[in-house]
Structure 1
């Protein structure tokens, strides 16, 4: 029986964190353990990546060992909790909390809210009130007592918003049941915490009024009005204002138990599209343009381009004429742009400016027919009813005749297609016609086209600043930047979030950003009143035929940024040409973007919308499409890797070869270009495969993509997908795949300086390979273990592993792997001070490289030889090797490797008297090392360049570099470079006259050397 079964386990996070087993409170550890556990409990049942736990524990300033400390914290929590391994599970790239019903107050809160919703829907108001009362009683304060850090605080703020919404509903229902006096005190207490919450203030006003306190109710309105004016410079909303007016006139409906606060006063009816509003003599100069937005911001480039088109049309068609079609995705601001341009040139059209909404994409309405549109336009010119023909042709002829001698500006908004617009076009060359549409009206002959996409980042920020105010934007520049990104720089989305923040002054920008980070709820968040990004996109979606709607939804399953015709063909199960036709159709209606010829991209919000269109009925079809896509990814990446990395062992994947159309990869250069373009999508496909339970695909796709990531120095991505592959192999219970995956992950850990994890996974992978008799993987594991032991300073322990790896690689005749191990051996001997043996190992590696196509490892073999020769003070020979290494490097070479080659080149050049050249090498080395994202490379480079500055007498610069190198090396236990940094810092400190500091560094270096043996 587990400890979890011995008593009732219970966690409470709606307040300070508590853990209980029966009546005994559990000791959960320190602040890190509490933050980790709270973050997991905030998302019960969902995988929380280690990176998110790091952010929760340390905000934006984590230590270098943060992931390791997270794992230690999880291990500690598992020891402290009954059945801890069953409560906190390792799952893929992170952890998840698994709890039974009743073991978490947050899930109980959600349950009560659902009960209340069902009861209210069934008109069982007392039951709904009781459920809400039980939900609100669970709250004891803010999550983690308000000391949980930024990430947990943001989640706590979201929960607080849900609590307030539940409280508002609770009081609303009680008012609906006829209660009043009992509510006043509770409402006043809650309003004291949330003074700007208008709904709560309205409930209090109504409760006071119903208890005969009309004056007090009116006073509450004045109090919140003054507060809103002082804090935000705005008046109360129409709902509260309507309630105030109803109380003033003692409206009889206020006494009804089911009272609904009155809405804002209803404005007078708007004129029909194109009909003149009653203001002046419309028969002479009609103007029905919508008002120009006072906070219109950005889009200056597009506005200039539009006005240029207008001018160009005038030059071609007459003094003032032209036809300009503006297209873009829903919510991109086409209408606002067209209206702004129309107002700017309105003075050139003294006979009038007419606006007509063709309602091509208007919720709940059919597009305006040409006949109806022409009728409205003729009436706007003052045409009597009896003169308007009944047929379209007659109306069109009369319309063209009426405009023959006039200079009018016509703005036709929201057109569905060319057929809707053509009958409305005037024959007069002096008229200007602006048309907006979500589709490209390519058949609109004689038109200038202007396609608008998302706003620029600068313009997006300007728009938010204009609506929200400069102070709030300036206070949170980083959060505002992320807000712009999450909104996809779409004007509609930006206006919605800015309005929400303006109407919620207690919300920070970071709080809203955290709500938007959850992609599953993002579209829900991007709605305000009648405005909604999802509703806008849905209109474009519904306007397509069923074939294209289905294709749009399936293409949304692609996890990467860009897709080409082959990827689309794999998803849709069609030939590349047919897939291209579908992609082009979606491009025409702006549901796709085209970043480059042959490539297509979803706007982030459009992708989210596409993924929301799935249903239970389409799940099986989606699963088939995803498998086709992953078969394609594995097959093509296998082909690319065979061309680029010919020395790697070929293995049977057990995955069906994709038989559809594939890109023709016949040469190494083609394979390199394909992987350069597609590796981001392949990484995303690994995660997709793991989420869908296609573990074999996850493992083999990872094996292919990590070869590329390693060659390009993208080590964090290498480690992330490596961990997913290990988790997939474990879930698959395939020890052979586990061995390969562990072996690869060990390499990523070495590159990133995570030596503890690297040694653990390399040893496990080696041991599994031995049990399976897989000598190829065994050799790779031994080589990795030897390398990792080298960097932690255990040279005597490392040597047997490297020798065993060489023995296996020679027996198996795999020169590509043997050459890599020889460079590892050369590194070991050089750090051990055995330079002749280091040079011999490097030369043997170079001999093998003559028959290999492995440029990056060839560069490292030459650099290793140069290190050995420099150690022997044979600098001219070292320079020869380094010159050859530099000649092999280009922009695609791993930045950390090139930095190391250049840093050693600087030292050797200085020794040979080429001081200016040495300075250039050193500067470039430091720049590349900083960009390499490899702490092992950066520490070594900074020590080398620090030594150069020290010998030049630039002790301050040397000390700074050695100090930083020591910080990097000690954080990852890179003992060789840690010792070198201490010695260099001691020499630099001594040169600066800091003898005490120098003695401390030397003592620490001697102690470290002794521990290394």
Structure 2
């Protein structure tokens, strides 16, 4: 995870996913210092590059880089520069983060999807990284946008995202210079100058303690090496102790031995020591909650997550979070609304929190806290989905039984919560699967998240986020050696591949699902995989293979004695044979379908099957037989009382009569169809069970 807004007052706030932002100061505390660095970045925009001529724009977007250690304020500086430059980029500021709170790189595909989402461009579910990056460059062509890419770890990541749009600007932050990115001069951050450092302290302590002892204030800035994050922590410590002097803080820092468990790389020891000072001075319950925040998915925490981690009430957790934010331990929330305030764990503090969590808490306590958090998240997701159900439904009744703090007042509020928490929810699911100790809860979380997404966005709108979720389900199923779950996950992934036009990938996954379903001995999953294989080959117009797989599925349904499914599969098989021009086989299958409908006493189904027989007979060059089949179908349609179906059959008869050279009879049939349609105020629907060649 990146160093999160570690300059004056922790002003900047970066969303976990790319997002459009305004130029407003999110906390109202302002920005201190760094005038030289801001000017340097501004000058670099107009600087002639290696691949440009003086006074002309380059072919690609200009890239600016802010480099600095955790705690140096690199993200805050980038945020401030973006705030000032935003009016020059009318297409908005797009944000993305490249590192998770536990220091792991965010997959490039997810970063690009977030950026595409900010541009209102729907990414193809499961698309490879190169296709996604190409789509992003295409979406940015001709635009004037500012891309703020936070905590880039490798130069290859940055190179993939530089748009071929000279009116765009890429502003990246990193710990190092990112050697390999051409024509980029890093703006390297050190500590704050003494004047700015003292001003930052004064925001927490007030002016009196600074004024009465200015030398100690300068010494404290030097003791913290001018690191904004360290100064914020010490300033918060002083703010909580009105009677303590600045000199007291210096002495406490010097007397405090650095804990061996704390990561203190060269240049970061002032931050580690300041964190140790604050952590040691907290009440036990608050210190424990602070440590447990290392488990917060994506570093995002609200009262619900905090209360679940600590096992306390939401009100007590909210009060603790507000205290942490006031003293620089959390970044304060921005905006307002009906949803609980979200706080963010600073990226520079995340490794320190993980270190003290591992030393101060027992593994069993950590696992219990994580389990409580996952359970609370599952219940929130269930509530998020249930609020979309009709009033009086079983889901709404279960929703009413939940505690008030877990209920959403309306579907709109629930949808807003889902959108704002989605990156953290995905991170929670991935973390639960990766840990491997809470697989049952991980499975419940993924299932609840999938259902909530479908409820609020629909199958199509949720597809880009469902794809990685189904992959997580597959990972859990493979780890638990659960064949049914493997089959279901593979089927879901293959369905998304099919919708995205990746038929080759879909076929491979459908075959894998078939093997898993057979290993599980589950006939329903098996026949689902068989039909999916057949449908994919049908879409590829490989009629022979499609008929083969439909035939296997039909055999399985015949063995189970499910007449309704038998009739449906006879129709699918007949349609494929018709597409291949095998009229005799198509007629045989439609006759079988009609016979099964007759056994089911389904007059409408029998009429439709006979109507399809008429179509096939006409295609086969036997119009007289087609007319007789159509008349028989019309008889069954009248028994079913389906006037629209009767109209469709009358129109088909009219077409056949015209081909037989009897226009008068054809006109009578059309008139009868028109009367039926006028009575039903509709149009005749197509009765074919599958497409056949005319």
- Give the shorter-chain TM-score range: 0.3 to 0.5
TM-score norm. by structure 1 comes to: 0.29
TM-score norm. by structure 2 comes to: 0.41
